[in-house]
Chain A
Amino acid sequence: MRYIEQEKVVRRMNGRMVVNRVFQGLFMFATALALLALVILLYRIVSQGAGHLSLDFLTNFASRFPDQAGIKAALVGSIWLMAVVAPTSILLGVGSAIYLEEYAKKGRITTFIQMNISNLAGVPSVVFGLLGLTIFVRALALGNSILAAGFTMSLLILPVIIVAAQEAIRSVPGELRDASYGMGATKWQTIVRIILPAAIPGILTGSILALSRAIGETAPLIVVGIPVIIQFLPEGVMDTFTALPMQIYDWSSRPQAEFQTVAAAGIIVLMVVLLFMNSIAVFIRNKFDKSY
């Protein structure tokens, strides 16, 4: 005797097809909505700010006259900030990831640390700002310098980098480790010669995406006490500075309508920087992508 009756299957077919269609439509709608929001946002900013974009905008310092206001100090400041954040966070993050994946014994303590790292990634950035204020600005007396802000930002994105690097390391097939250990390689040789080269695309992609987050963050910088208007460029990591999101935040909170245009132009610059960093991430992923 057969359990599936062909007649019934045919009768139910139409209903199944309708449900299939409905869900396809729902998911398409969700995607379209997200795209629409992005397009509106881009349109608003570009139409508002494009007129103010010029070479002068990039090479002028901030000014109280909207037509003379430029983004030089903020752009250079953000680059300085990244110069501190990138090496600090990547070295510490990849180091922690290697320790957790390759050295740490799996046990209750490791699980606890792991859980806390994942939780840290969800802590609001303003809390990291307060931490930075307490430790770097006050206790270590770094003041509102590039170094203090950079360390604070590094703490903020460290959990994201650790998790990304761990996943990249974990995705290196165990057979490659076996092959290396099987020939008498030490753990360190295996990590440097086999695991890291295979994991580097994932690690770099994750790191660059985390850095993109750091370059757009405002809250920690406000809490750490980074000034907005600066008429000089920093000459070292102990100098104070301002950053792109700080500058944009200041412009957009001014009462004069003209400054809204300046803010929009600033946002365009920030977005170009972000797109540039993301495209590096994509480039690295495609270039080093290996199939196992």
Chain B
Amino acid sequence: MNTATIKTKINTAQPTSVEQVEKESVYSTRQLNLWYGNNHALKNIDLEIGENEVTAIIGPSGCGKSTYLKTLNRMVELVPSVKTSGEIHYRGRNIFDSSYGVEELRTRVGMVFQKPNPFPKSIYDNIAYGPRIHGIKNKKILDEIVEKSLRGAAIWDEVKDRLNENAYGISGGQQQRICIARTLAIEPDVILMDEPTSALDPISTLKIEELVQELKEQYSIIIVTHNMQQAARISDKTAFFLNGEVIEYDRTDTIFSNPADKRTEDYISGRFG
């Protein structure tokens, strides 16, 4: 009798613990709400984002997907009149805690923006910017970081002979990979990407997509995209946002082949958005 109850206890406990081990959460968002003034932009968001996965966030314009991404490294607070409630835990720590400095958070969580935005400096200085602001002055170490980051972003061979040229002189696709390299140079844990290919041509887009596949071995990547094929191609999980709410969040193949919600299906099949 006693052994039987113990057995059932173990049986019920096992599945949950297995699940937890399988998907270590980098970010867990709990009851996140966000307002721009009176505009309720994010409503009761609950999301768990897994380690070494690519998580895609899709949804029509104005659904709050970029806002959510920018909340993860608190860049959204640069907009005046933003208010938030709820919690986002990054590696177990609430990022809204007053003891958690945004600068500290942003060294762990890098960001790549929609439009390539290199600094009007040399390619070298662009990559070395992050390490320098975090106090690295040694030229040798900087050289190593620059090479490693550029190799990591698969652009080393294209720019190794022109490191001292202005980053504005290269193509938009190359600039975006420079921006990815610049993010890698701060040795982040998570990389946030806000529609990184929306300003690029198809070939550059392909290169970035391939890069994302390589990067997920080492980093957890969260990517906002307008392009549903892109989400299907590169992501492991997909969250569908609509009017500031998460409608559905599941494995990407499930979302695209067998969505649970009618609205997800409508959006994916191109009926709106």
Contacts and interface: CB of A to CB of B under 8 A. Distances in A.
A and B are interacting partners = yes
Contacts of B113: 175, 178-179, 182
A189 B103 CA distance: 11
Contacts of A186: 103, 133
Interface string A197-230: 1100000000000000000000000000000000
B133 A179 contact: no
Interface in B153-205: 168, 179, 182-183, 186
A173 interface: yes
B115 A175 contact: yes
B120 A290 contact: yes
A193 B133 contact: yes
Contacts of B80: 105-106
A255 interface: no
B117 A185 contact: no
Contact of B75 (A182, A185, A193): A182
A181 interface: yes
B117 A173 contact: yes
B216 interface: no
B186 A176 contact: no
Interface residues of B, number: 27
A175 B106 contact: no
Nearest to B134: A184
B58 interface: no
B78 A178 contact: yes
A182 B120 contact: no
Nearest to B107: A184
A37 interface: no
Contact of A185 (B103, B104, B105, B179): B103
Interface in A155-190: 173, 175-186, 189
Given A176-B117, A189-B133, A183 B183 contact: yes
A182 B106 contact: yes
Given A189-B133, A193-B129, A291-B168, A183 B110 contact: yes
Nearest to A190: B133
Interface residues of A, number: 23
A292 B130 contact: no
A178 B133 contact: no
B73 interface: yes
B207 to A, nearest CB: 20
A184 B104 contact: yes
Nearest to A290: B120
A233 interface: no
A273 interface: no
A208 B185 CA distance: 39
Interface in A66-103: none
A194 B129 CA distance: 10
B221 to A, nearest CB: 15
B111 interface: yes
Contacts of A177: 78
B100 interface: no
Contacts of A106: 80
A175 B113 CA distance: 8
A170 to B, nearest CB: 15
B119 interface: yes
B73 to A, nearest CB: 7
A209 B3 CA distance: 91
A184 B168 contact: no
B133 A185 contact: yes
A184 B186 contact: yes
B190 to A, nearest CB: 12
Contacts of A291: 168
A197 B72 CA distance: 30
B107 A183 contact: yes
Nearest to A179: B117
Contact of B111 (A182, A189, A198, A292): A182
Contacts of A181: 75, 78, 106
Interface in A108-159: none
A175 B186 contact: no
A154 to B, nearest CB: 31
A182 B129 contact: no
B223 to A, nearest CB: 15
Given A175-B113, A189-B133, A183 B119 contact: no
B120 A198 contact: yes
Per CB-CB distance, the 8 closest pairs between chain A and chain B, nearest first, are A175-B117, A184-B106, A184-B107, A182-B111, A183-B130, A184-B103, A185-B133, A179-B117
